[in-house]
Structure 1
């Protein structure tokens, strides 16, 4: 089981929107040195929605190569068509990914039985560990705990990333009596510390992109149940938890990484660079945690 800080890695791009593979490899090295437990490649933060299938798999492959077995790489392979999700998941497995992260099918709003059959079809088609991903605010559907419990019975469905920032949902999931090797991951940085102290196993984090060492320290303490240490580390990131979401992810975090000199300024339409109104506040929050001089 993967535990701790799992960075939802941003995809570096130049000003023309072309992927910067050298910068990508450098980000991977930085995360390994900073204590990040695993990398999600081609999730929402990686701009999976705007890369074509060839680019999508190329980024996963290059991330796997850069990690070189030192930490796991989890590939984002969700789609709103089950056949496409199967193809992406198989391609990610062929590229060497250690696991796949599959967002709930977006836009078409399937019922719970449709979600169950979708995930079961992918799990049966591709022999790779698979993590469910629930983010109703982006997809328009909510993977309910009872459906998670059904899916957890499938041998290669190994976890859930839950991005619904709801304490009742967190308590419900922890109390389901899921298999002991089934992992629960927060997908919401502001509530991740509380979720891990309640029994979650890690955080798939946007904020880890800019402060990987602090996030790794917080997650390690929270998973171990060291509440005071975890909350102290979490408090260091409180401003970032808010400011890196002042516009839709990954707009603020890509701006921050560019300001830190780690990636180019590129982001793909329909996303646009962070509004200048927020620059000073984000810059100040980065300076406060030592991420920017």
Structure 2
């Protein structure tokens, strides 16, 4: 059973021509997050820019992250790709690299049938011995994983949960109903819905905002676990200041720049075609950061 705040870490890049991965900044960022009390590190999520990394970069990054974490918390690795073949290859290599669990985003660009989705995930799960978490993010894939598909996949031994970033409470309820009836777990991926998801039965959040605000998110998780709902509501609301600022640019440019301007780690820019924020946007980010000081 996964629990607590799991940070889907940004992938730090150098400001060189290749925008190569900055492993020194990666280690620094991970150490800060662990010191703040997060209970999982997730490499190659949406904020981790998995979509602009090569196969070799993905597997090398996961191997480095596993080494940096050194068994202190579980390491989740994003193995999703458009094809079943590529996903299986990534999943197997990430397992060999020491990841503790895999997250597999639904295939994007196309919309598979329910039967195709079931076969896709069954094939991936059968190719590894690690726990597999489904990843539902319709704003990026163009569709949601249907509850009927999730219910069928919940019967697969090592498909253990779903990360839901839909923001759809009706769909979230359907997923939590499936979890309640099976050995299965819902991990909330919409940072604005952490409180309500916990009240529905979620025990963990994969929260992108914890890259910048790990102590706030950890405190929110602890308040919810203790039933301190007034405190939880205050903490949940405070995240909205950052969430509003994130809309100033293309994901994850603003989050990465916020981490740098706060002095936490030199995580670099997002990879092109995403460009760095201009001076005016930097000024807006600084204003946002002042709220959390």
If the TM-score is normalised by the length of the shorter chain, which range does it land in? Answer: over 0.9
Equivalent residue, structure 1, for 2:122: 120
Where does residue 10 of structure 1 map in the other structure?
10
Partner of 2:70: 68
Would you say 1:260 and 2:262 are equivalent positions?
Answer: yes
Conserved? CA contact 1:4–1:223, under 8 Å: no
Paired residues in the alignment total 290
Matched, 1:132 2:134: yes
Deviates more, 1:163-172 or 1:28-37: 163-172
Structure 1 Cα separation of the partners of residues 292 and 234 of structure 2: 13
Alignment of 1:70-149 (within 5 A): 70-149=72-151
Structure 1, gaps ≥5 residues long: none
Deviations 1:8-63 (A, max 9, x none): 10011111211110110111111111010101101111111111111111111111
8 Å CA contact 2:176–2:185 kept in 1: the answer is no
The change in CA–CA distance for 1:191 and 1:242 in structure 2 (over 3 A counts) is: farther
TM-score by length of 1: 0.94
C-alpha separation in 1, matches of 2:90 and 2:120: 14
User: Quick check: 94-103 or 258-267, which moved more?
Assistant: 258-267
Equivalent residues of 1:152, 1:178 under 8 A apart: no
Any unmatched runs of 5+ in structure 2? none
Of the structure 1 ranges 81-90 and 40-49, higher mean CA displacement relative to structure 2 is found in 40-49
Cα offsets for 1:230-288 (capped at 9, x unmatched): 11211222211222243332111111112123124332112111344433332222221
Distance 1:144 1:220, change over 3 A: farther
**TM-score (norm: length of structure 2):** 0.94
Q: 1:245 to 1:191 in 2, by over 3 A?
A: farther
Q: Corresponding residue for 1:241?
A: 243
Residue in structure 2 matched with residue 49 of structure 1 by the alignment: 51
Residue matched to 2:284? 281
8 Å CA contact retained: 1:110, 1:141: no
Q: Tell me the residue number matched to 1:26.
A: 28
How far residue 193 of structure 1 moved from its aligned partner, in angstroms, is: 2.1
